[in-house]
Chain A
Amino acid sequence: MQLKPYVRSLAVAVSLAFVAGCSSGGGTQEGSMDGIAGGNGAGGAGGAAGGSGQVSGSGLGQGAGQMAGARIPEVRTIYFAYDSDAIRPEFQSVLESHARFLQGNPDASVVLQGHTDERGTREYNLALGERRAGAVERFLSVQGVSPSQVEVVSYGEERPAARGGNEEAYAQNRRVVFAY
């Protein structure tokens, strides 16, 4: 489809603007777990403001410190064991941070993209990817996130993050991605 690259870059631009718009002044904590944990404390309070941050979206984002909780958590991928949809303990805090963000930003929505490694049949893997994303969806729901903010799309083995027929690549591909 010829239009898709444009659509996708538009989507990327919009979400970048969103991220930038919601950024606090100290928006340099790329990928830092500490940054997420720090932001969580203000999640409830910053939430309402976060919604408007999305609308402003100009990338100026000088929204001051109290909006830190309105940031989309930096860690947006969690990984799974082979043939499992169980949330691993080390990723619970990641899910909790997304739950707080979504609760604090009722206008925000997320697509949970479920993925599998390449082993096994494609259509069955598509179902397994959905089961993984569904496990994350249930976790968020239990945390109080509105179902209307969450959508599940499984890609099965169709969009690998890493190539290669080895466990290292497989482990990177068994994942759920939070796509805002």
Chain B
Amino acid sequence: MRALMTTWLAAALLFCAPLVQAELTIDITRGNEQATPIAVVPFGADGGQLPVDLAQVVADDLERSGYFAPLEREAMFATPSSGDEVKFGDWQALDTRYLVVGRVRHEAGRVEIRYELMDVSDGSRMLGEVLTANDSQLRAAAHRISDKIFEEITGIRGAFSTRVAYVTSQGVGEQTSYQLFVADADGRNSKQVLSSDEPIMSPAWSPDGRKLAYVSFESGRPAIYVQEVASGRRAQLTSFEGLNSAPAWSPDGRRLAMALSKDGQPDIYVMDIGSRNLERVTSGDSIETEPAWAPDGRSLIYTSDRSGGPQIYRQALGGGSPERLTFTGNYNARGRFSPDGESLFLIHRGGNGYQVARQDLDSGRLVELSESGQSESPSVAPNGTMVIFATQQGGNGVLGAVTADGRASFRLPAAQGDVREPAWSPFLN
């Protein structure tokens, strides 16, 4: 790491760029019929209303997971703010399975948040917690509550306190400008971390969630950079002749897989970040790109057109023959593993164009998940429950998300410009 640290470049210039608004909103395009009914009652407040409606943030998080169908507020008979005040018969009549109630106390810039999760069927209390936060931490506190509730009910760790990096562009032709943003997983709280007149591609989070690797053309050709998200400090990692593309962090954060064409056609290489030593993984006359690491770090998948069109292959590190993984259709590319390593999310060209699909690795069965024909860049939530991807709406690039089982899907349109190449962060807490 020392070599990298000593070559960090100050990136203060990057922050002088005019702030481009790329806040994302969320539209639900397909709800899950089997989502569990839950009611998140507006939290009671002592000492004045908060600037953030915590219960609404929690309800939105749970709905966006595809696992829950929050009850509309208008349908609520009562607004209890603690478990003692709940009349469970009311909620049973509404077919609500779970109930979230809470109360906040706002005092001198500090907020105490008390909430409870109740099982409506038997009136039991499943969860009760007290959190404290200041005004700027309220959304984060709400996401933490969502994480707790989600895990308590589903047994799956919540991923609401994570972030998403994405690339935007404004304008067309020579006038195009490009930005790299980082936002909360619900699209809010977006911050520009890089701006350039040349393309920015392939953002990838380090496993500790502190850095982004990406490709920038700012020098007139593609090069891979690594940037600390919090400080903006960054270093140029590669500038080989030809392609420098598709960086992918190893699970231990010490190596980057990448596609380089310095030796001819694009091939997969692994760079040790500390020493910058390169190990070549593939060779041949075909295109090899879009590497991704298996969760155990022992093998890579990548896209290759050695069979004619793009298909996904797996290569064990340290030797062995590559194994072709995809056989359904003639275009399967940019695979990403589910966190349990048992399935792949990828772009599959089917009858309806380019779709996000999931392929079970054991059976080889492939299922299309998205509906738009222009999907690309799937990125999997760290808990494996959702995939965020780029698609198009009204001629503009927007982000979409779909549950891993395809039951629910969402759009995250931006106020302006094109949005693409989302990268879901690892767990950050």
Q: Chain A: residues with CB nearer than 8 A to chain B?
A: 1-5, 8, 111, 118-124, 126-128, 130-131, 151-156, 158-161, 163-165
Contacts and interface: CB of A to CB of B under 8 A. Distances in A.
B187 interface: no
Q: Which 9 A-B pairs have the closest CB atoms?
A: A158-B199, A4-B197, A127-B287, A121-B334, A121-B333, A123-B246, A127-B266, A123-B290, A1-B196
B289 A124 contact: yes
A151 B221 CA distance: 10
A163 B396 CA distance: 9
B16 interface: yes
Interface in B186-203: 195-199, 201-202
A53 B259 CA distance: 40
Contacts of B199: 155, 158-159
Contact of B333 (A3, A111, A124, A153): A124
A48 to B, nearest CB: 28
Contact of B259 (A4, A127, A151): A127
B129 to A, nearest CB: 42
Decide if the interface of chain A is mainly helix, strand, loop or mixed.
mixed
Nearest to B17: A2
A44 B266 CA distance: 36
Interface string B135-151: 00000000000000000
Interface of B: 13-14, 16-17, 172-174, 176, 195-199, 201-202, 217-218, 220-222, 242-243, 245-246, 259, 261, 265-266, 287, 289-290, 303, 305, 310, 331, 333-334, 347, 349, 354, 374, 376-377, 392, 395, 420-421
B198 A4 contact: yes
A62 B274 CA distance: 56
A138 to B, nearest CB: 12
B201 A123 contact: yes
A124 B347 CA distance: 11
Given A120-B354, A122-B202, A165-B392, A127 B217 contact: no
Given A122-B376, A126-B243, A1 B13 contact: yes
Contacts of A8: 174, 197
Contact of A121 (B13, B243, B266, B376): B376
B289 A127 contact: yes
20 contacts: A1-B13, A1-B17, A1-B195, A1-B198, A8-B197, A111-B220, A120-B349, A122-B376, A122-B421, A124-B287, A124-B333, A124-B334, A126-B201, A126-B245, A128-B287, A153-B222, A155-B217, A156-B201, A159-B176, A165-B374
A118 B217 CA distance: 18
A127 B285 CA distance: 12
A124 B243 contact: no
A158 B331 contact: no
Contacts of A120: 310, 331, 333, 347, 349, 354, 376
B289 to A, nearest CB: 5
A126 to B, nearest CB: 5
Nearest to B221: A153
B395 A165 contact: yes
A161 B290 contact: no
B197 A123 contact: no
A159 to B, nearest CB: 6
A128 B220 CA distance: 18
B218 to A, nearest CB: 5
Nearest to A128: B287
Given A124-B287, A127-B259, A161 B173 contact: yes
Which of A123, A159, A160 counts the most B-chain CB atoms under 10 A from its CB? A123
Nearest to A126: B245
Contacts of B202: 122-123
Contact of A130 (B218, B243, B305): B243
A8 B177 CA distance: 13
B212 to A, nearest CB: 16
Contacts of B290: 121, 123-124
A130 to B, nearest CB: 6
Nearest to A4: B197
A123 B334 contact: yes
B263 to A, nearest CB: 13
Contacts of A160: 172-173
A177 B383 CA distance: 44
A62 B246 CA distance: 48
B354 A119 contact: yes
Nearest to B197: A4
A97 B376 CA distance: 38
Contacts of B243: 126-127, 130, 154
A68 B303 CA distance: 47
A102 to B, nearest CB: 19
Contacts of B217: 153, 155, 158
B118 to A, nearest CB: 46
B172 A163 contact: yes
A121 B195 contact: no
B308 to A, nearest CB: 10
Given A120-B354, A121-B377, A122-B421, A158 B201 contact: yes
